[in-house]
Structure 1
Amino acid sequence: MAYGIGAAAARLARLVKGEGGTPHRTRLALVLRLENVDTLRGGLGPQVMEQLLDQLTRRLVAEMRLLPQLRSPGSAEVLGLFAIGRQQAVPGLLARLQAICGRGVELPDLRICPVVNAVIVGDETGEADPAALYAHGRAALQGCDPLSPAGQLRFVEMPVPGAEPAPPSAPALTLDRIGLLFQPQICCDTGAVLGLRVLTRLRMDNAESRDLDEIEPRLDDETLSHVATHVLRQALDCLKGWDRMGAGVPRLTLPFSDRMLADPLLADSILWELDRHDLLPGRLEIELCEPIGRSGGRVPVTACLHRLAAAGCALALGEFGTGSAGLGDLRRFGVGRVRIGREFVADCDRRADQQRMILAILALAEHLRLATLADGVATQDEKAFLAQIGFAAVQGPAVAPPMPAAEVDDFLLEHGRSLPLAFDLRRRG
């Protein structure tokens, strides 16, 4: 039995390598990539993420006769050569791959359906090195539609030897797919609108919309730069419009990812747009959403933040208390405000453990002289409790839902008329 298994494995390896078969046997390779890796790893943890990839690889081996390459820890790619060496088998392989990816991955007490982009690379000559097949597949993945909600599975052929290969180009992300929502931030002392946080949504191919941070890992740097510039321009246009109607929005909070901040042209673009709109830099608050320099590089991100802070832009840190930035970074970059997320705010009016955690975070923020914003406030009781214990501002469904610019106009006017009424969120004894 052991000899039979070993002999079968040896024959499979020879077939994949093109040995012992007909000359110029077609080679087929797989390059599969999981998207939104940071989101998955953050939600599942590194260990479960590795289990997910291992389970997916085992299914590809069992159901598609894939001979996989050794995957390095932390990699989100699955690479391998197929034992089947016929171009006629490609439609069947794509259909089987679609079925495997569509079913998701079963883990203990968990079923995950990750977004997968994959390419089957064909080489009719059978002479291309596996590394060349994988490199061509990676280049072809750049042409996968980033707005396909379930990912894409494609077949590409290796270029004919001697011909100039045309690198696959990524599909253009048209700007009409980008929409902005605005989340009001309310002062706990006066009830006035302190600002609006900008949420960027991208319309998918199935007409649903997703947050930009979900789609960002699928976007190349050039496309992401265009998106950031477009969002900035549209947000400042809206702010200028509210100024003209006398709505009195003090500032906008605009989240920028680490990759966006690594763009050497971003700081110049922000300052130029502020000047073009005749807005003071302090009217824009840059929110940092992840550990500084983790994915964009410490040096370029630091240079961008220092430039913006020196010009007068405000800096804020999102998800404070979750280990997203060191305390040294708060001082080094001059962060002035922190946002405390829903995981700490939920049921804070009833749960003693939440209250102790929030009070500890508030004490740290007060010691560092940081303003505080409670995010995701879902009930009036939560809002009243947070105002009572000392939060500077709140935002969330209990305050106002995210809304398009046209609805913000009506909200600002109505909210302004309500301020003369008894509107004191602080309930002192």
Structure 2
Amino acid sequence: MGNDGGKRAARKSELRARYNGKPGPVLLRREMIAFLPACGLALLWVGPEAMVLIGLTAILVGWMTRRLPVPVEIDEEGCDPATGLLPPSAAIAEMAASLQDSQRRNRPTGCLILGLDAPDQVLRRLHPKEFDLLLRRIGERLQAQLRSGDVVTRWDGARFAVLLRPTPRLGLEGMIQLCGRLQEAVSEPYVIAEQTQEITMHIGFHLVGRSAAAPAYRDDAASQAKADARANTEAEAALSRAETAANRAMQSGPGAIRSSHSDKVAMKEPGPHPLSASVGEALEAGHIKAFFLPQISTDTGDISGFQAIPRWLHAQRGILTESEILPAIEAAGLGARFSEVMLYAAFGALRDIARDGSDFGPASLPFLPGQMSDPKLAERLAWEFDRFEIAPNRLRLIVPQAMVARLDDPVCSHTLHAIKRLGCLIELAGFGSGPVSAETIRQIGPQRLRIHRSLTAEIDHNTEHQRLTAAIVSMAEGLGLETLAEGVPGIAEHAMLCQLGCSAVQGPAIAAPMPISEFLEWAERHRTKLDATPQIGRR
């Protein structure tokens, strides 16, 4: 460090000596004396035109050799040595200053934590110095996408912090678009040591809205010290929330974006699960498959849809149901990969059914908790629809009761509305198992309500269940919504639900979940049985 400082000081001294050797105004310099006789001779021998030309040449030469200031050199002694950016410790100070400015001007601000996906794999392909060069190039691309007042700093490991200056139009949609631009910029290939490197980055962000009332600032030192301390505390909290969101994004898969959650809708960390250690291997090996549960229309008896349900073909425990699979998936942090597997299976089933020339209605697929927090879910669904050549209205996404409380989160609300704009159908599950307000139905905007299995059980002789189900069906009809009864156990319950006006049913009374090949065979037998049923004709 001392040797570098000596070289820098020597270079500055050399520059000063070189530039200080050319003092004085431009036209009074020693070098200009040679042009005086030249101008006189040009006037005598050629004329005024030549004198003017030589005079302009003299001025140009004098301007080009003018005294220049010593170039300002950036002192990188306080910067991160690998990236040349500010160190992580400076992020808190910059964020605190941004928060104070946000409160004074009553404008929103925010911060982002961006992390390299699978940095260990990238580091295995590169020398440590080459990896540092890659991080420097990433930092340069991030800076090129931001405004002049925004700050990029190094964060822990292969991560960066982006601190946004307050702006009047910064909102959730703007933050999501900014994340998309940053990801697009850093995803362009890098040439490091004659090797092409392609990377992806996950992002977690925290948005700080406008203050309800700006604090009163005083000029005395004590008040300013308190304000600075409060701003530092708030800055640490904001960056911590963004980092927590980045950790969730990292667990969700490459290129994921997550927002920090408010205290009311904060996600609980799943506890340990005995199957979490083996669920990832089973998922990649294809042991967790999608089975399909048919849904029958109570009006015609035709197949009106089907639901994709996971089944784990476990070597020791046999076939495991979704009640055992989903907790293990959440505990292992594999929700994104599990959703991809189920979505691919549902789209594959829809494609196979269409190729067979049949139409069994839309496929129902449950939302997972992590999916609602993914602002890019609608974009990925649109890509899958185009890939499989399937219309968006062929997919019904089920919103369970447990996720209703999270709709207060702006990211969850944004994701749901983006999916609805895409054209997907929405089902609201759990009617009869918990409170659902009219505002919730309006906010979600479902096309179908799912009546919980606790109401369909014993509905053939339980008058209370009959009254509650009739009220749900009546309300749904008044709102123009369909209804589906889940877990119908027998023929008697099926008949009672038909009498109460339920639109469709599913459960053991119809069929058990089955692989796609068995589902197609069952559908053919069901169609043959319907065709053989005598029809009541008119005379």
Please indicate the TM-score interval, normalised by the length of the shorter structure: 0.5 to 0.7
Paired residue for 2:110?
none
Is 1:323 equivalent to 2:434 in the alignment?
yes
Mark the CA change 1:253 to 1:143 in structure 2 (over 3 Å): closer, same or farther.
Answer: closer
Query: Equivalents in 2 of 1:143, 1:200: separation in Å?
Result: 18
**Residue equivalent to 1:415:** 526
SS of equivalent to 2:334? helix
Distance 1:325 1:221, change over 3 A: farther
State which of 255, 276, 280 in structure 2 corresponds to 1:146.
276
Aligned to 1:181: 291
Relative to structure 1, the CA distance from residue 351 to residue 204 in structure 2 (aligned partners, 3 Å threshold; closer, same or farther) is same
Q: Does 1:307 align with 2:423?
A: no
State the Cα distance separating 1:173 from its structure 2 match.
4.5
- Pairwise CA RMSD: 2.9
> What residue identity is the alignment partner of 2:375?
P
Give the equivalent residue in structure 1 for 2:509.
398
- Alpha-carbon distance change, 230 to 174 in structure 1, aligned in 2, over 3 angstroms: same
Deviation at 1:272, TM superposition (A): 1.3
Alpha-carbon distance, 1:270 to partner = 1.8
SS in structure 2 at match of 1:391? coil
Pairing of 1:5-404 with structure 2 (within 5 A)? 146=276, 173-204=283-314, 206-218=316-328, 219=330, 223-292=334-403, 294=405, 298-323=409-434, 325-404=436-515
In structure 2, how many angstroms separate the alpha carbons of the residues matched to 1:421 and 1:171? 46
The alpha-carbon deviation at position 370 of structure 1 amounts to: 1.7
Partners of 1:293 and 1:351 in 2: how far apart?
Answer: 29
Letter in 1 for 2:304: L
Deviation at 1:420, TM superposition (A): 2.7
Q: Per the alignment, in what secondary structure is the counterpart of residue 174 of structure 1?
A: helix
CA distance in 2, matches of 1:300, 1:391: 33
Which SS does the other structure have where 2:431 is aligned?
A: coil
Partner of 2:175: none
8 Å CA contact retained: 2:295, 2:307: yes
Contact 2:276 2:331 in 1 (8 A): no
Report how far residue 408 of structure 1 moved.
Answer: 0.6
Tell me the distance in 1 between the aligned counterparts of 2:525 and 2:403.
Answer: 39
**Pair 223,402 (structure 1): closer, same or farther in 2 beyond 3 Å:** same
TM score, norm. by length of structure 1 = 0.56
**Between the two proteins, what is the percent identity of the paired residues?**
31
Cα separation, partners in 2 of 1:382 and 1:220, compared to 1, 3 Å: closer
TM-superposed CA distance for 1:404, in Å, is 1.0
Give yes or no for contact 2:365–2:396 (8 Å, CA) kept in 1: yes
Distance 2:374 2:534 in 1: 43
Deviations 1:340-375 (A, max 9, x none): 122111121112222122122222222322211111
Q: Is the 8 A contact 1:292 1:325 kept in 2?
A: no
Name the TM-score, length of structure 2 as normaliser: 0.45
Q: Which structure has the larger Rg over C-alpha atoms?
A: 2
Residue identity opposite 2:394 in structure 1: R
Q: Could you say what secondary structure the match of 2:512 adopts?
A: coil
Matched letter for residue 419 of structure 2: L
1:90-127 Cα shifts (integer Å, max 9, x gaps): xxxxxxxxxxxxxxxxxxxxxxxxxxxxxxxxxxxxxx
Secondary structure of 1:300's counterpart equals helix
Aligned CA distance change for structure 1 residues 357 and 423 (closer, same or farther; 3 Å)? farther
Q: CA 1:389–1:325 in structure 2 vs 1: closer, same or farther (change >3 Å)? A: closer
Alignment partner of 2:296: what SS?
Answer: strand
Q: What secondary structure is seen at the aligned counterpart in 2 of 1:199?
A: strand
Aligned partners of 1:201, 1:171: CA distance in 2, in Å? 15
Deviation at 1:224, TM superposition (A): 1.0
Greater RCO (CA < 8 Å, at least 6 residues apart): 1
Q: CA deviation at 1:210?
A: 2.9
- TM-superposed CA distance for 1:220, in Å, is 5.5
Residues 1:396 and 1:260: Cα distance change in structure 2 (over 3 Å) = same
Aligned positions, number: 266
Contact 1:258 1:301 in 2 (8 A): no
Letter in 2 for 1:185: Q
